[in-house]
């Protein structure tokens, strides 16, 4: 392996250390801590884990972090009423509605609920107001995963301005905001997706590749220019032994772990990429911890902006 590992976990801890005294200062001045409310509807095993991690991270930096749970049987009106109550709450500066919402709420439930969140409390950066502001380069609460990736690139000294960047994936929560943030930092950006012909060839031209697809090991050596920086957003649980064997050589500890547990967490980037890339984020321990930390930073910023009336 030749690629330098970009340690998202270490940077997340560093940013937490930066945030914590600011939270203490806010609490001392206001007589209350910044408040984060997380709305969880129904039971979704992965969401339970994500929400637990976010609540813990919130408490660790000194926030009031509240879980607002609704049952699987909740209606869309119930979810919207809860969001409205949190919009009016003085104790809460940030509101996050955990995705996915139960399917029974209907296909447009997520957009209806996100649209209902007050933009100044939208710490996920999903509301049209925040997305629009971000597109125009105005102050905004920006989606946590892409803003964490920018933070990582900047603090690791990886040049963005004037470089070619390729973002694979065009989702509203990762791919699109990622492309815009790279563009704002003067990269020349290409956005690739499931209909892009010659994906490997397009990616091979890039100095920075961000893979946000959700396909284990999609990005192979053939996608990567020697020395390029590769950011792996994907989080895929592999349970198929043939897929695990295609990703890891026989002696690899992750293959041993897969055989022990029957599953292994992998990114979108094939492990062989470490032989060509200049720098690479690991999975786990790369983008994931930064996403949670950016949520904390957004909540603190939302609290400070509400206080200053600067929204
Ligand atoms: P999504 O399903 O909404 O979007 C996936 C995108 O990939 C789509 O735009 C699609 O066009 C594109 N795509 C699908 N197949 C493709 C192919 N064969 N070639 C090229 N492009 C293809 O997913 P998402 O919400 O953006 O998440 C992407 C991945 O990132 C998932 O694995 C998700 O779990 C992970 N994720 C991780 C974090 C984190 O904090 N680490 C946060 C968000 C998402």
- Give the residue extent of every domain in the chain: 30-119, 144-288
Q: Is the pLDDT of residue 310 over 90?
A: no
Specify the CATH architecture of the domain 144-288. 3-Layer(aba) Sandwich (3.40)
Cβ–ligand 1 distance for 147 under 6 Å, the answer no
List pLDDT tens digits, range 177-194.
999 999 999 999 999 999
Which residues belong to the active site?
Answer: 54, 98, 124
Q: Ligand 1 test: best mutation among 194, 198, 222, 237, most atoms within 8 Å of CB?
A: 194
**Rounded distance from Cα 85 to ligand 1 centre (Å):** 32
> Going by DSSP bridges, is the β-strand pair 164-168/94-97 parallel, antiparallel, or unpaired?
unpaired
Mean pLDDT, residues 48-65 taken together: 97
pLDDT over threshold 90, residue 309: no
Question: Which of 67, 65, 74, 58 is CA-nearest to residue 40?
Answer: 67
Cβ–ligand 1 contact at 233 (below 6 Å): yes
Angle of helix 144-155 relative to helix 287-308, nearest 10 degrees? 110
pLDDT at 128 over 80: yes
Number of H helices, E strands in the chain: 11, 11
pLDDT confidence of residue 187: 98
311 pLDDT exceeds 80?
Answer: no
Distance CA 41, CA 22 (A): 31
Distance (angstroms) between ligand 1 centre and the Cα of 175 equals 8
- Round to whole Å and give the CA distance between 198 and 205: 12
Centroid of ligand 1 to alpha carbon of 211 (angstroms) = 8
- Is the CB of residue 209 below 6 angstroms from any atom belonging to ligand 1? no
Strands lying side by side in the sheet with 188-192: 4-5, 279-280, 229-232, 208-211, 164-168, 188-192
Pairwise CA distance, residues 143 & 148, whole Å: 9
pLDDT at 70 over 80: yes
> CA of 197: how far to CAs of 192, 193, 200, 202, in Å?
9, 9, 9, 8
Is pTM beyond 0.85? Reply is yes
Determine the distance separating the centroid of ligand 1 and the alpha carbon of 200, expressed in angstroms: 17
Segment 17-46 shows an average pLDDT of 97
Mutate to test the pocket of ligand 1, among 99, 166, 169, 190 (most ligand atoms within 8 A of CB): 169
Q: Residue 77: enclosing H or E segment and its boundaries? A: helix 76-88
Q: Are 35 and 89 in contact (CB under 8 A)?
A: yes
Question: Hey, which CATH number is domain 30-119, 3.40.50.2000, 3.40.50.10860, 3.20.20.140, 3.30.360.10?
Answer: 3.40.50.10860
β-pairing verdict for 208-211 and 188-192: unpaired
Residue length of the chain: 311
Longest dimension (CA), the chain: 58
In Å, how far from its chain's centre is CA 105?
Answer: 24
pLDDT 10s digits, 136-178: 999 999 999 999 999 999 999 999 999 999 999 999 999 999 9
Q: Do domains 30-119 and 144-288 have the same CATH topology?
A: yes
Question: Residue 45 pairs with which residues in a beta bridge?
Answer: none
pLDDT-derived band at 261, boundaries 50, 70, 90: very high
The pLDDT score that the predictor gives to residue 1 is 67
Residue 264 is given by DSSP the state E
Is the CB–ligand 1 distance for residue 144 below 6 Å?
no
């Amino acid at each position: 392996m030749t690629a330098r590992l970009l340690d998202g976990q270490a940077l997340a801890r560093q940013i937490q250390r930066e945030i914590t005294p600011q939270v203490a200062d806010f609490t001392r001045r206001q007589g209350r801590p910044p408040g984060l409310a997380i709305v969880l509807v129904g039971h979704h095993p992965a969401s339970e884990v994500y929400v637990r991690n976010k609540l813990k991270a919130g408490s660790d930096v000194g926030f009031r972090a509240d879980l607002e749970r609704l049952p699987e049987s909740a209606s869309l009106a119930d979810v919207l009423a809860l969001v409205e109550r949190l919009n009016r709450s003085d104790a809460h500066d940030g509101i996050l509605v955990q995705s996915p919402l139960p399917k029974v709420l209907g296909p447009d439930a997520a957009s209806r609920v996100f649209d209902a969140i007050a933009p100044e409390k939208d710490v996920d950066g999903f509301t049209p107001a925040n997305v629009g502001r971000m597109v125009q380069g105005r102050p905004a609460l920006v989606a946590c995963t892409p803003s964490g990736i920018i933070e990582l690139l900047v603090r690791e000294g990886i040049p963005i301005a004037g470089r070619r960047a390729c973002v694979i994936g065009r989702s509203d929560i990762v791919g699109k905001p990622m492309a815009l943030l790279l563009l704002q930092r003067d990269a020349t950006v290409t956005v690739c997706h499931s209909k892009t012909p010659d994906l490997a060839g397009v990616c091979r031209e890039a100095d920075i590749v961000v893979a946000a697809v959700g396909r284990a090991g999609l990005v192979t050596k053939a996608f990567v220019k020697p020395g390029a920086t590769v950011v792996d957003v994907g989080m895929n649980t592999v349970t198929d032994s043939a897929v695990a064997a295609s990703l890891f050589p026989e002696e690899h500890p992750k293959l041993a772990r897969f055989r022990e547990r029957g599953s292994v967490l992998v990114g979108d980037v094939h492990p062989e990429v470490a032989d060509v890339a200049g720098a690479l984020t690991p999975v786990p321990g790369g983008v994931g911890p930064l996403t949670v930390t950016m949520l904390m930073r957004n909540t603190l910023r939302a609290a400070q902006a509400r206080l200053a009336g600067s929204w």
